[in-house]
Amino acid sequence: MLRLTDIGWESFAALPLEAKRPYLARPDGMPYHTLFAQQFDRGLLERLCALANRIRFINKSKEGALYLKNVLAHKRAMLYFSQPSSRTFLSHLAACQILGITTGSVRDAATSSEFKGETKEDSIRTFSSYFDMIIMRSPEQGLAEKMAWELSNSDRPIPILNAGSGKDQHPTQALLDVYTLVRSFETKGGLDGRTVVFCGDLLRGRTVRSLSYLLTDFRDVRQIFVAPPELHVPEDVIETLKSKGVEHAVVDDLRSAVKEADAVYMTRIQDEWDSSKGASAKIDTSRFKFGAEELKLLKPDGVIMHPLPRRDEIATCCDRDPRAMYWRQMRNGMWIRAALIAATFGFERSIMNCGY
């Protein structure tokens, strides 16, 4: 097995993402550090989904919930969110709590500003002194990766879980999206052969990029991209699909796409990345919203997803339709993160085999 202590930082950083994968894994193949979506192949995704299902089931009874709360009761996790995100924060917090992990946190500018004058490396090394895992969200691309290497080469080689780094990676969001798709179709023949429609700001949404990649691990999943011309899916995403021989289409009519969709993945216009303020507002996005009309066109067992928060991409009149999966998708995030964290600490097998 390869380890981050076997390779220098520059050599590691220069590797293509998929070649980095073995350096981040535990002996059982589960991730030790979780840094990017490309760490996960289909086998790993299925093991994590199965573990998430198991945790979700066990947690239904009080006895089961108390069993789970004991699994990692001897561990403490640091949630270091230098880029605030209450949703992602709370989801990871809840995942930790399900497993009995106690937590500390830095989650806003005011508290973390006081680290000024200290390098981020020293701050994270500090957290590693007090905790057994660092769940970090940072606007700085690559920081999680650097810290994983640094800690692995220190005498506190604790795992790093990347909870979002800049425009770059948000691997657990990709996991929860896959888990939601797998759950949605698990009693209906599975995810293979399905059609997934992505709609909205496909240029800047890192969730689309990651999910598109992970879906290539499944068989015959067709991908359709619907967006205004200014916000269309980047060429390299399309190149990846071509190189893997994945059927796909780039279109501009949501309604036609919805008719063919098994899943519609709506996204928000990410105007926080506008290079000039208000640039997004000038784009005509009116035809890229999901409302009552689109609902009528969707298959009876199709699903609507959204990474949330939403603005008006999905009309609230859809919220109580049984095909609206976006609320459950959020809760799935908690379960798959609990699965990932349990696996990180080597508890996959004991949870899968426990008596609950």
Q: Which of 9, 57, 273, 327 binds its own copies (CB under 8 A)?
A: 327
Distance CA 51, CA 218 (A): 19
Question: Residue 251, interface with its own copies (CB under 8 A)?
Answer: no
Distance CA 146, CA 334 (A): 26
**Closest to 56 measured CA to CA, from 87, 95, 17:** 95
Within 166-205, the residues that bind its own copies by CB under 8 A are none
Q: Which of 29, 46, 126, 217 binds its own copies (CB under 8 A)?
A: 126
- Which residue number, 235 or 272, has a Cβ lying nearer to its own copies? 272
- Which residue number, 195 or 280, has a Cβ lying nearer to its own copies? 280
The yes-or-no answer on residue 268 being catalytic is: no
Token digits of residue 232: 């269309």
- Which residue number, 59 or 223, has a Cβ lying nearer to its own copies? 59
The yes-or-no answer on residue 219 being catalytic is: no
Token digits of residue 300: 């009876």
Identified catalytic residue from 20, 47, 107, 137: 137
Question: Residue 86, interface with its own copies (CB under 8 A)?
Answer: yes
Question: Residue 114, interface with its own copies (CB under 8 A)?
Answer: yes
b/e sequence 56-66, b meaning 16+ C-beta within 10 Å: bebbeeeebee
Question: Residue 349, interface with its own copies (CB under 8 A)?
Answer: no
Q: Which of 8, 22, 104, 346 binds its own copies (CB under 8 A)?
A: 104
Distance CA 179, CA 336 (A): 7
- Which residue number, 223 or 285, has a Cβ lying nearer to its own copies? 285
280-285 own/partner pairs: CB under 8 Å, 24+ apart: 280/201, 283/228, 283/230, 283/231, 284/228, 285/200, 285/228, 285/231
Distance CA 127, CA 79 (A): 9
Within 13-72, the residues that bind its own copies by CB under 8 A are 59, 62, 65-66, 69-70
Identified catalytic residue from 42, 74, 87, 311: 87
104-109 own/partner pairs: CB under 8 Å, 24+ apart: 104/76, 104/77, 104/78, 104/79, 104/130, 104/131, 105/78, 105/79, 105/80, 105/81, 106/78, 106/79, 106/80, 106/81, 106/82, 107/79, 107/81, 108/81, 108/84, 109/82, 109/84
Token digits of residue 266: 């709506």
Q: Which of 110, 245, 278, 300 binds its own copies (CB under 8 A)?
A: 110
Question: Residue 76, interface with its own copies (CB under 8 A)?
Answer: yes
Identified catalytic residue from 34, 88, 195, 344: 88
- Which residue number, 27 or 322, has a Cβ lying nearer to its own copies? 322
- Which residue number, 200 or 221, has a Cβ lying nearer to its own copies? 200
The yes-or-no answer on residue 116 being catalytic is: yes
Residues marked as catalytic? 87-88, 116, 137, 170
Note the residues at the interface with its own copies (CB under 8 A).
59, 62, 65-66, 69-70, 73-74, 76, 78, 84-87, 90-91, 93-94, 97, 102, 104, 106-112, 114-115, 117-118, 122-123, 125-127, 129-131, 153-156, 308-311, 320, 327-328, 330-331, 333-334
